[in-house]
């Protein structure tokens, strides 16, 4: 090995504030993948990056090396433009489930590799697995074939994709280096760009229920990921969207799938559809199938009104082993909780707050999420019929409905939810959801 690429040399260079070469970064990622760097050397390097940062060229090189640490999907046989969407995670964010078939129904291939929920944020894979028989663990061959035949696949990360990321993320978690912009960007983007996409749209959330609480931090993350995508030859755009209250009216796996099916039938909550359309417009624009956002909105709306998007979702579900009848009668096929309790307003007024984090913690208490990666998730539980900020409510009106499989957990969640929803006597304006397009 070139002595200049020895672990201690590369670590020292970053420790001293130098910009690393592509070769040095590749050596670091290779060391994480093949074990030639010890965990203590990888940890030292992560801390050096955390303290000294990386410029755009370094971060792009890190993303590229992590992407190439495993298999990069070859979707060149798919003639349609290939565009994916990624969200940084929020409460009630089920957008991917209905957005993917909407975009696919417009002639754009959507190769989507998603994750599981952890902490207060829900995971697309957990939601999809509440559909009887639905398989998220497709092989790369199955994934490639389905994108070609159906125009969309909704799967989990395979072992072949970006193995360096799995190793480095585990070390970041135990070395207090998770909150590092270049490492966050590389971790997200290496997996997305390994999917075989032509372009990417990002939903970067800010607010009480988001990973990034402040808008400035969210904007910095969005800009960094856009810069990386563009630097790697993949046109990338990001939307900054608010996450101070849950998105839509449902939080919980099966409940959110049912809400996504309602969206595909033209019956989705207004706020959820606003974000869905905004992301879909950018996907169609980057795919080159429309000339402007107005044309994109018309095509996306037609995919719903014509039934094409719902038919595409049924096709995706069937292709991945699920019961396509969920598209007609989700309430009959999806898991149902033993207990339901309506939470009612104790006075008339306007919904002033529906605190996203508190709602998420109530759902977590019910078993809808996981505190640790190994925790089991109850697909049936959660919260539905949530009131939205700015809505007028009468005394005794339903402001939420709790779905639970355990009476004690229901009681605790009901108390938490009561604290999360504030009814005020004065009118409240509904908050703006989409802040900026980057």
pLDDT for res 248 = 97
Average pLDDT, the chain: 94
Residues 6+ apart with CB under 8 A from 100: 85, 110, 112, 152, 154, 316
The catalytic residue among 68, 120, 172, 409 is 172
Q: What is this structure's pTM? A: 0.93
Residue 187 falls in the annotated catalytic set: yes
pLDDT for residue 416: 96
Query: pLDDT tens digit string along 245-260?
Result: 999 999 999 999 999 9
Active-site residue, 274 included: no
165 is known as an active-site residue: yes
Angle of CA points 314, 254, 91, to nearest 5°: 110
What tens digit of pLDDT does each residue of 296-318 get?
A: 999 999 999 999 999 999 999 99
For the cut 80, the answer to whether the pLDDT of residue 380 exceeds it is: yes
**Residue among 64, 84, 126, 165 flagged as catalytic:** 165
CA distance 99 to 58: 33
Domains and CATH numbers, the chain: 3-53 (1.20.970.10), 83-327 (3.40.1030.10), 336-424 (3.90.1170.30)
pLDDT above 80 for 371? no
Q: What is the DSSP letter of 130?
A: T
DSSP, collapsed to helix, strand or coil, labels residue 241 as strand
Burial class for 216, CB neighbours closer than 10 Å (0-12, 13-18, 19+): exposed
Active site residue 191: yes
Q: Residue 157 and residue 145: Cα distance in Å, rounded? A: 16
Q: What's the whole-number mean pLDDT along residues 264-283?
A: 98
Once rounded to an integer, what is the mean pLDDT over residues 11-32? 97
Q: Cα–Cα distance between 179 and 16 in angstroms, integer?
A: 20
Which one from 14, 191, 237, 409 is the annotated catalytic residue?
191
Active site residue 291: no
Q: Using the Cα atoms of residue 59, residue 177, residue 39 and residue 2 in order, give the sign of their dihedral.
A: positive
Catalytic one of 187, 237, 249, 271:
187
The Cα 103–Cα 380 span in angstroms is 28
Which of 86, 192, 219, 249 is flagged as catalytic? 86
- The token pair that represents 362 in the structure block: 């109530």
pLDDT in tens, 321-370: 999 999 999 999 999 999 999 999 999 999 999 999 999 999 999 999 87
The upper half-sphere exposure of residue 409, i.e. CA atoms within 13 Å in the direction of its Cβ, equals 21
Any alpha helices (H) in 6-94, and if so which ranges? 7-15, 22-34, 39-52, 56-67
* Band of pLDDT at residue 395, cut at 50, 70 and 90: very high
pLDDT the model gives residue 313: 98
pLDDT at 174 over 90: no
């Amino acid at each position: 090995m070139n002595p200049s690429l020895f672990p201690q040399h590369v670590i020292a260079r970053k420790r001293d504030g130098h910009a690393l070469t592509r070769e040095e970064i590749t050596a670091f990622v290779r060391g994480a993948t093949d074990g030639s760097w010890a965990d203590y050397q990888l940890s030292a390097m992560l801390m050096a990056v955390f303290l000294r940062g990386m410029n755009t060229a370094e971060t792009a090189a890190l993303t590229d090396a992590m992407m190439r640490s495993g298999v990069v999907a070859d979707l060149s046989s798919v003639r349609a433009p290939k565009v994916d969407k990624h969200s940084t995670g929020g409460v009630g964010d089920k957008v991917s489930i209905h957005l993917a078939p909407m975009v696919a129904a417009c002639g754009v291939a959507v190769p989507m590799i998603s994750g599981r929920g952890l902490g207060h944020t829900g995971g697309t894979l957990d939601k999809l697995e509440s559909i009887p028989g639905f398989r998220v663990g497709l092989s790369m061959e199955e994934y490639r074939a389905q994108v070609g035949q159906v125009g969309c696949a909704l799967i989990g990360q395979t072992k072949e994709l970006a193995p360096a990321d799995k190793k480095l993320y585990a070390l970041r978690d135990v070395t207090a280096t998770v909150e590092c912009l270049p490492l966050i960007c590389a971790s997200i983007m290496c997996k997305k760009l390994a999917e075989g996409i032509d372009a990417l749209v990002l939903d970067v959330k800010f607010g009480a229920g988001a990973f990034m609480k402040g808008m400035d931090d969210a904007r910095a993350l969005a800009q960094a990921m856009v810069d990386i995508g563009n630097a790697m030859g993949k046109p990338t755009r990001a939307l900054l969207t608010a996450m101070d209250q849950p998105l839509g009216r449902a939080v919980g796996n099966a409940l959110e799938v049912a809400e996504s099916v309602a969206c595909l039938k033209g019956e989705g909550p207004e706020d959820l559809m606003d974000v869905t359309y905004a992301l879909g417009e950018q996907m169609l624009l980057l795919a080159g199938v429309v000339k402007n956002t107005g044309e994109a909105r018309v095509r996306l709306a037609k995919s719903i009104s014509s039934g094409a998007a719902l038919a595409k979702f049924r096709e995706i579900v069937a292709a991945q082993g699920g019961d396509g009848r969920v598209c007609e009668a989700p309430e009959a096929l999806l898991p149902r909780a033993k207990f339901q309790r309506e939470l009612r307003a104790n006075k008339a007024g306007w919904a002033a707050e529906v605190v996203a984090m508190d709602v998420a913690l109530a759902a977590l208490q019910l078993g809808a999420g996981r505190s640790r990666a190994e925790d089991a998730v109850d697909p049936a539980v959660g919260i539905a019929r949530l009131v939205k900020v700015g809505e007028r409510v009468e005394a005794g009106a339903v402001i939420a409905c709790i779905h639970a499989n355990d009476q004690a957990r229901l009681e605790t969640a009901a108390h938490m939810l009561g604290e999360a929803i504030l009814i005020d006597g004065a009118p409240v304006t509904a908050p703006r959801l989409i802040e900026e397009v980057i």
